[in-house]
């Protein structure tokens, strides 16, 4: 081994200065090439990791914002149900609320799948689960509210129709009594005026 090293050393000494320079330059080029390949691989890995983080953060933020907007709209639509006084409009608004609930639940499922794909913490998953439970409670409450309000409107319409019918009947009875009384009291003008005054009160 020592002899072979000595022979190699002697061969290197026997090389001309120009050959030594070319050899050194070639060795440096090889080292630079290896360092360049290593750095390129590292930069590529960093770029991939950064791209994945960027996609994760952007998509998470986008999905969260969309869910927030949908839930806010849902709350407004549920609150507006109480103010509706028309049965047909109430039914149409209730269908709109149910569609909004379906969109919210779908967005929650998408957010769940996204957090699972990027291995987010359990705390985020717990928050998403709480939102899901709240949406299901809103769904049940809005259905109950619609049922009660629909019943109230139906009863209110029946009472209003009954009252209108009662007032109409009362007016007709009043006119008939007035006509009958005037016919009977036609012989006496004072009695006729007295009956008319009493009826018109």
For 26-54, what is each residue's pLDDT tens digit?
A: 777 787 778 777 767 776 776 666 666 66
Q: Over range 131-135, report the average pLDDT.
A: 85
Residue 101 structural domain: 2-199
Res 190: pLDDT:
62
Provide the pLDDT confidence category of residue 143 given band limits of 50, 70 and 90.
Answer: confident
Q: Give pTM, 2 decimals.
A: 0.57
- Percentage of residues of the chain with pLDDT beyond 70: 66
> 């007709």: which residue's tokens?
172
Distance CA 55, CA 86 (A): 47
pLDDT above 80 (res 186): no
Res 123: pLDDT:
75
User: Cβ neighbours of residue 199 under 8 Å, at least 6 residues apart?
Assistant: 174, 177, 178, 181
Question: Domains in the chain: how many in total?
Answer: 1
CA atoms in the 13 A half-sphere facing the CB of 122: 0
Res 185: pLDDT:
57
Cβ atoms of 95 and 40 within 8 Å: the answer is no
Res 193: pLDDT:
66
């Amino acid at each position: 081994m020592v002899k072979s090293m000595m022979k190699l050393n002697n061969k290197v000494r026997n090389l001309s200065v120009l050959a030594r320079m070319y050899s050194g330059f070639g060795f440096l080029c090889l080292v630079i090439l290896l360092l360049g390949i290593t750095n390129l691989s590292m930069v590529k890995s960093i770029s991939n990791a950064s791209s994945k983080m960027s996609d994760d953060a952007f998509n998470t933020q986008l999905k969260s914002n969309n869910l927030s907007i949908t839930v806010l709209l849902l709350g407004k639509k549920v609150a507006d149900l109480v103010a509706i006084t028309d049965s047909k409009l109430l039914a149409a608004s209730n269908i709109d609320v149910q569609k909004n609930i379906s969109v919210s639940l779908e967005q929650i499922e998408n957010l769940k799948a996204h957090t699972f794909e990027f291995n987010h913490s359990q705390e985020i998953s717990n928050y998403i689960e709480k939102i899901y439970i709240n949406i299901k409670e809103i769904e049940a409450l809005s259905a109950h509210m619609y049922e009660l309000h629909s019943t109230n409107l139906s009863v209110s319409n029946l009472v209003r129709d009954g009252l209108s019918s009662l007032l109409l009947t009362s007016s007709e009875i009043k006119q008939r009594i007035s006509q009958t009384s005037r016919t009977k009291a036609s012989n006496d003008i004072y009695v006729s005026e007295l009956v008319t005054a009493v009826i018109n009160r």
